[in-house]
Amino acid sequence: MGKLGLQLYSVRDATGDNLLTTIRNASEMGYEGTQFAGFFDYPAKEVKAELAAAGIITAGAHVGIDQLVNNLDEVMRFHEVIDNDLIICPSLPENMRTKPDDYYRTAEILNGIGRKLKGAGFRFGYHNHAFEFEADEGKTGFDILYEQEDFTKDPMESAKENAEALRKIIG
């Protein structure tokens, strides 16, 4: 069986108050990993030290699209320090997801980010929401992102392997 991890977004109020204490508390509650949803200006070395002291590992991190587009090298350096190899884009601003053309442009951006991350030894994912399943001109945003994705062909990393199951669930 895999390790039990806590998505820190689910305790974001406590995390925002004190990330390092939240990491320690998660470990004391029996969690073996954490998936981050922000670092609240803590330096990577401090986060890494607390992870080590708490005996807890990283299980990915949500990193906003603005950071991925504008500061990807800095993002990679930070995550290398904390031993995190899974970067997840948590959402898209409305201007990147209003019309099908927006999704095609967004797919190009995500593919560029994904290729660069993969080349540096990271895995990259996208956290979808309900809005990606709204149809426009006969396609959903999810369809477009799914069809255009080209940076990962590993079945464990690719939503393509799960698309049929998702389609059955949502109808």
pLDDT band at 137; cut points 50, 70, 90: confident
Statement: residue 48 has pLDDT above 50: yes
Which H helix or E strand runs over 34? Answer: strand 33-36
Tens of pLDDT, residues 56-111: 999 999 999 999 999 999 999 999 999 999 999 999 999 999 999 999 999 999 99
Check residue 148 and give its pLDDT: 87
Check residue 44 and give its pLDDT: 98
Check residue 156 and give its pLDDT: 44
Q: Which one-letter amino acid corresponds to residue 105?
A: R
For residues 137-163, give the mean pLDDT: 70
CA distance 117 to 72: 9
For residues 31-52, give the mean pLDDT: 96
Check residue 169 and give its pLDDT: 47
CA distance 146 to 83: 28
pLDDT band at 23; cut points 50, 70, 90: very high
Of 19, 65, 59, 57, nearest to 38 (Cα)? 19
pLDDT band at 158; cut points 50, 70, 90: low
Q: Where are the domains of the chain?
A: 1-59, 63-171
What fold characterizes domain 63-171? TIM Barrel (3.20.20)
